[in-house]
Amino acid sequence: MPIRSDAPNGPRPVTTPTTSTPTPPAASTPAAAPDAGWKPKSNDQVLFVAMNNSEAHRSTFESDTMKARGVNVAVIKDAAKDDTITTKDARGVATTHDLTTPEGAKSFALTLGLPGEQTQKIADVLLNAGSDARDELAQVAQVWAQAERGGQAPSRLVLSGHHVGYGVYGENNGHLDWPTVGKLAEAMPRGARTVEDLLIAGCYSGGQSFMDKYQAIFPNAKTLMAYDGSSPGASSGATAHQKGWEQATRGTREDIDRKIFEGMRKGENVTVWTKAHGFQDGRPPASLDDLRAQQQRGQGDFQAALSGQATIENPQTGAVRDFYSATQRLIQNPATPPAERAQLEGVRDQTIRLLFFPVVSKRFAEAYALKLDKGFQALGMPKPDFKSLTRAQALAAITQFETRLAATTPVPDAAAQLAPTLAAFKALDRSVIPDTWV
C-alpha cells in the first residue's frame, strides 16, 4: 500500500547514470514495438547491484572503489526499509510503495510510465520475488525503464554478493534468484537486451550451465565473467578483479582475456564466456566420469563431518571444501543428467551449511529461540545452547530430544511442533536454514 509523504524520509531512489531523469509518460501511453526504431547502444556505464551489506562483505565498498576511479556507476543497494521503494512525482511529493502488497507493487510499477500490460507484468514479478529482494529489483526496473521508454540503460551489469547456486544474495539481505531475474528480463526485454557485459561477483557462479543461463536472460551479451570456485571478498581482491573487468569491457569489445587475472588472489577461479571465443575456465575439458570420480573421492570426508565424527577447521580450505567444489563442478557440467543434478544440488546445499556450521547454528538458535524454549521445556529438558555447540554436540542434543519425545505419552504440542524443525536442522535443510545464513 503506498504511503504518501511530502517529506523525502524513505529510502532514496537509485542514482541513474544520467544527470537528470525526465518525468515518465503516463502509464497509458502506448509504447513502440520492441524493435521499432530502438536499438541498444554500447556505453561504458555500469549498473552495480550490491546485494551484500554485512560489515565483513560490503558490496558497496566495491562499487565505491569503481566510482573513485572515475567510472560512471549507478549503484543499487538494500533499502532502509525492506521491500519498499520511495518515488517522487513531478511536484516532488514522495510516495513509499510497499512491494509486498499487490497495491504497492502496482503503484510503483505505474511510476515507470510503461504500457498497462507491461506494468502489470513488472508488478507481478516484484510481488512474487523473494523477501527483501523486491527493493533491489524495483531499482533495477527503474533503470531498465529508461530503455523501455526509448532511451538507453547501462550496458554493463555487476551483480555482487554471495552465491551458492540459486542466485546472488547478501548476509543481511534478500536473495536475487535467477528465475526472478529472468522474469524481470522477460517483462522488460529492452532493459535485458541492453546488457552487453555481465560480471557475477559471487562464488561458484561460473560453470558452463550458468553461463548458458546468463545468455538466455541477457541475449545481447558479448562477455560474461564469473567464478568456478570461490570469489575474492570485497576487501580481499574483488576490487582488483573488477578493475581488470571494467578496463577490459570498455567500448564495443567482444572478448575478455582470463590472463588479466593471473597472479591475482583467486584469479585461477575466474571463468569467462565471450562472443568471440566461447566458454573458458583455464582447465582442460573434463569428462563426466572424471568429474564424478573427483566428487566421489571426497564422500568419506563429507560424511565424517556431516555425522560430527570429523571437524572442519577452516571453511575455505580442506577436504570438505574440495568436496564442495567438486560437487559444484559436477552440477554445472551441461552433460550431467537432470535427475543427478537435482540430487547433487541437495548435497551441495548440505555441504555449504556444513562448512559454515558455527554461523548456521548461531543463526538457528536466534531465529528459533522461542520454539526451542517451548519444545525442550515441554519435555522437561534444558534447552541446548546451539550458538556454541559443535556439530557433534548439536547432533547429540537432537538425538536426546528425539529419544525423550518417543518415550513421552501423550506428546506435548510444543515438542511435536519442534521435532520436524530439529530434524530439518539436523539434515541441514534449506527449509530452516536459508541461503542468506551462509
- Sign of the dihedral through C-alpha 267, 268, 273, 275: positive
pLDDT at 111: 98
Yes or no: say if 150 and 120 are a contact pair by the CB < 8 Å rule: no
Give the Cα separation of 33 and 113 in Å (integer): 15
pLDDT at 405: 98
pLDDT at 36: 66
- How many CB atoms are closer than 10 A to CB 294? 17
Q: Tell me, rounded to whole angstroms, the distance of Cα 306 from its chain centroid.
A: 25
pLDDT at 35: 56
pLDDT at 37: 78
**Cis amide prior to 410 (ω within 30 degrees):** yes
By residue count, the chain amounts to 438
Beta strands in 172-320 (DSSP E): 175-177, 197-201, 223-227, 270-274, 278-280
Q: Which three cell numbers stand for residue 82?
A: 525492506
Q: Which domains does the chain have, with CATH numbers?
A: 3-280 (3.40.50), 288-355 (no CATH), 358-426 (no CATH)
Give the Cα separation of 115 and 127 in Å (integer): 18
- How many CB atoms are closer than 10 A to CB 438? 21
Nearest to 102 by CA among 125, 122, 127, 131: 127
- Sign of the dihedral through C-alpha 54, 59, 63, 65: positive
Yes or no: say if 62 and 201 are a contact pair by the CB < 8 Å rule: yes
In a structure prediction context, what are the per-residue pLDDT tens digits for the chain, which is 438 residues long?
A: 443 333 333 333 333 333 333 333 333 344 444 556 799 999 999 999 999 987 777 899 999 999 999 999 999 999 999 999 999 999 999 999 999 999 999 999 999 999 999 999 999 999 999 999 999 999 999 999 999 999 999 999 999 999 999 999 998 899 999 999 999 999 999 999 999 999 999 999 999 999 999 999 999 999 999 999 999 988 889 999 999 999 999 998 899 999 999 999 999 999 999 998 999 999 888 899 999 999 999 999 999 999 999 999 999 999 999 999 999 999 999 999 999 999 999 999 999 999 999 999 999 999 999 999 999 999 999 999 999 999 999 999 999 999 999 999 999 999 999 999 999 999 999 999 999 898
pLDDT at 185: 97
pLDDT at 58: 82
User: 77-90 as b/e, with b when 16 or more CB fall inside 10 Å?
Assistant: bbbeebbbbbbeee
SS (HEC) of 224-241:
EEEECCCCCCHHHHHHHH
pLDDT at 13: 36
Nearest to 51 by CA among 150, 161, 129: 161
pLDDT at 73: 97
- How many CB atoms are closer than 10 A to CB 410? 6
Stretch (H or E) spanning 97 = strand 94-98
Q: Tell me, rounded to whole angstroms, the distance of Cα 341 from its chain centroid.
A: 20
Q: Tell me, rounded to whole angstroms, the distance of Cα 37 from its chain centroid.
A: 34
pLDDT at 30: 43
pTM across the whole model: 0.83
